[in-house]
């Protein structure tokens, strides 16, 4: 082999090795980033980390948000958590589950949780926010709607028109309360209202405790109304008018982080066309269980 060909081969080997090391370094960096919870800066400032959890939908299934909160609550490298809210609320029990997890992390883990309301932080979403250390909202954010709602469609007249009959066998007067094929009886209406009033009292009590306000003062404004962030500030429903970056800066300062904190965001499920074609699509189809969910439900929901 000539000297020229040997030198060329040597440079090819050196170049190939350098390229392999470069690819390996990039792969390692991507792997660390993905498995660090989707951090904005996964390698640097490892100790100055703030977890960001998104509450940005109607609250029906609390488990993803509760799981993310628990994960950050148990991670000693996470100095604080910001709950980024853009939600009109949702189910009563589902909202309560997230609310209790926020309270648990604050009391047991002694970890600061701050809420940043983007466009909407109403009803069940505000219920959750009331358990936090501090609430921020933009001036034009929608805040409030302290109240409970239950509603359904009564298609009794449609059944009569179609000459169909709804047949119900039951064991007690109230077993089919909310049957969409007929009107409520006076006793059923009183029964349903009592349930709603009890849930309403729980909501008012939670806001009263979380915001350090008198129960009567909260109840006097708990008429289902919403307010802008600017109005909510004057009513003591939030602690500051500001955007997400304001909440980040204030939270970092409050937990002793100097400089720019590292924001750690959990991986978020993304459904692609291939997921629909090749994966389990049962969650997207209206099965019998989902049809039953269209019956009476109680909601902390702004509509």
Q: Catalytic residues, which ones? A: 123, 175
And the tokens for 174? 């109230």
| Residue matched to tokens 């100055």 | 48
Q: If phi over 0 gives left and psi between -120 and 50 gives alpha, with beta otherwise, what is residue 36?
A: alpha
Please, which residues bridge with residue 54 across strands? 84
Inter-residue contact 99 to 132 (CB < 8 Å): no
Q: Tokens 């589902």 sit at which residue?
A: 94
Q: Largest Cα–Cα distance of the chain, in whole Å?
A: 103
Distance CA 42, CA 51 (A): 12
Residue given tokens 């269980």 in the structure block: 289
Backbone angles phi, psi at 267, to 5 degrees: -60, 140
């Amino acid at each position: 082999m000539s000297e020229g060909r040997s030198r060329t081969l040597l440079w090819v080997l050196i170049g190939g090795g350098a390229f392999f090391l470069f690819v390996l370094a990039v792969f390692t960096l991507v792997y660390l980033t993905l498995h660090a919870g989707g951090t904005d800066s996964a390698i640097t400032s490892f100790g100055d980390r703030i977890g960001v959890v998104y509450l940005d939908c109607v609250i029906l299934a609390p488990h993803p948000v509760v799981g993310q909160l628990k994960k950050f609550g148990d991670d000693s490298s996470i100095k604080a958590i910001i709950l980024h809210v853009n939600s009109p609320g949702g189910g009563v029990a589902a909202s309560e589950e997230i609310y209790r997890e926020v309270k648990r992390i604050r009391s047991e883990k002694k970890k600061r949780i701050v809420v940043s309301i983007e466009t909407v932080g109403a009803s069940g979403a505000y219920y959750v926010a009331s358990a936090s250390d501090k609430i921020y909202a933009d001036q034009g954010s929608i805040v409030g709607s302290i109240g409970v709602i239950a509603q359904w469609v009564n298609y009794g007249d449609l059944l009569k028109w179609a000459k169909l009959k709804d047949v119900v066998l039951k064991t007690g007067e109230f077993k089919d309360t909310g049957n969409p094929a007929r009107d409520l009886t006076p006793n059923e209406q009183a029964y349903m209202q009592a349930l709603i009033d009890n849930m309403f009292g729980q909501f008012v009590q939670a806001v009263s405790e979380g915001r350090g306000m008198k129960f009567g003062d909260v109840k006097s404004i708990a008429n289902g109304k919403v307010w802008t962030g600017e109005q909510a500030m004057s009513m003591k429903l939030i602690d500051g008018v500001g955007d997400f970056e304001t909440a980040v800066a204030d939270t970092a300062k409050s937990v002793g982080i100097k400089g720019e904190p590292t924001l750690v965001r959990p991986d978020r499920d993304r459904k692609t066309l291939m997921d629909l074609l090749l994966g389990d699509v049962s969650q997207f189809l209206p099965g019998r269980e989902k049809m039953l969910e269209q019956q009476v439900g109680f909601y902390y929901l702004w509509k």
